Amino acid sequence: MDAAVAVSYTLGVVEPYTSGIGGGGYMTIYKADTGEVIMLDFRETAPAATDARQWLDADGNIMYYTTEEGATLTGAYSRLNRLGGLAVAVPGEIAGLEEALNSYGSGNFTRAMLMADGIKYAEEGYLCMPMMEEASNEEYTQISAMKELSEYYLNDGWAYETGEVITNPDLAKTYRLIAEQGPEVFYSGEIADAIVGSVNGYGGHITKEDFSSYKVEHRTPLSSTYRDYKVYSLPPSSSGGTHLIEILNILENYDLATMEINSPEYIHAIAEATKIAFADRAEYMYENVEQSVLDGLTSKEYAKQRFDGIDAGNGKYTAADPAAFEHGSTTSYSIIDKDGNMVTCTQTIGDFYGSKIAVPGYGFILNNEMYDFSLDPESVNCAKPGARPLSCITPTVVLTPDNEPFLTVGTPGGTRIFSVVAQVIERMIDFDMDVQEAINTTRVWADSETELHYERTTEDSVYPLSESAMKALEDMGYTLVDKAAYDNYFGGVQAIALNGDGTVRGGADPRRSGKALAY
């Protein structure tokens, strides 16, 4: 846990476009001495003044952000639920890390010691990575429209290029305040005052009371089995664990090990199971969903019923609500220590650069997690005061049939998250894959009646889709959507496998700036 907290704070400096203290996340913890699995939910929460129609005009149409100069921006990233003050939820990351450290840390490190590397990088600089350059260019219109964000994360008005050095002394100052004064300075002190001023200056309605009332939730993990391996993952407010388990339960009805990986029949199984999960997500899932619904969605009997409804072609299931979909702007890490304790955490600020509001003088970016609520005021996942928007985040721990640690795994990737994690777990169990091979294997994703997203083939592709497989899938009724090879659209899995012979293998995703390290 000491390492996890240090990694989290450091990522908030060097990957500010995907996570940081202006956001939140989820953490799954495995305690080696007791075999206990613990979940911490430090997801962002809606302000008390939230209204389900706050982003809609009188006719029910989504409104778009208007700059100080009076120009109304266009495009999905410029909607009021994604850009500006009405997109910001109360951040949970500081509270979550403090709870994690106090409850599960060794006690050998102070908060200041674990924040030291983050402070060093903020002051001395870090290199812009390709992912950051890509993110900055992707949402350049929105970034450049926000004065404070532009000053921190544009270079004379342009996106930083790969290899250029970025510093942020204001963020170093903020980290020192938190290191010295604790979370109180963030939730009831000067940082809270600065956030409230920034958010409301950009059209929001957040209050200091929203901050002082924030709390971390300890959740009971959802658990199931896949081929007798024990899977532990998140309950709501994330939908990720529920539908990861649902997908695996459906796939368990196939004899996947006899199929060729990424053959038409194999992809059909993955796609239909994923589409069913999204149909159920749209219909049932929100933060306080009844336990009986969760029990049903994660039961083997329900999965068999859903499996029996799959035919040989592209199935037609109720489509999920696209307004509630997450962007892929998130980061994930997994850690194991010499005693076998495991932590997997996924943290986020929403879109790349979140709400695009940077807090002046403090150097960090505020989330835009409010867009994970549905725009439909009648939806079970509509915005409500104090609610946590639904997520797909899925940090997961897997144990062997003998209750020995097997895998800790998580990924960014928005709505692709739980499907991607399911594909990695399934391949390691059904095909006895090495964790890195399972991560590198070509991925697919589907959430609607017809479209199937796949990774383009290159000479480096692992188990690529063949031309004959793509033709067969089209004949089955799929509309194929070509994504780039090793595209960050499909996440950035970070995982650690315990091989049963005393060796440990770290797997890092080439689709993003991942790395496996051992000490």
Q: How far is residue 204's CA from residue 102's CA, in Å, rounded to a whole number?
A: 33
424 sits in which H/E element = helix 417-430
Place of tokens 């850690």: 335
- Reply yes or no on whether 330 is catalytic: yes
Q: What is the largest CA-CA distance in the chain?
A: 64
Q: How far is residue 365's CA from residue 349's CA, in Å, rounded to a whole number?
A: 8
Per annotation, catalytic residue among 330, 394, 408, 441: 330
Question: Contacts by 424-429 with C-beta closer than 8 Å and gap 24+?
Answer: 424/493, 424/495, 425/226, 425/229, 425/231, 425/248, 425/396, 425/398, 426/226, 426/248, 426/251, 426/256, 427/261, 428/497, 429/226, 429/227, 429/229
Pairing of strands 24-31, 479-483: unpaired
Phi, psi for 38 (deg, rounded to 5): -125, 140
Pairing of strands 451-455, 479-483: parallel
* Other residues' Cβ atoms within 10 Å of the Cβ of residue 178: 23
CB 415 within 8 A of CB 451: no
- Residue 230 identity: K
Which residues are catalytic, by number? 330
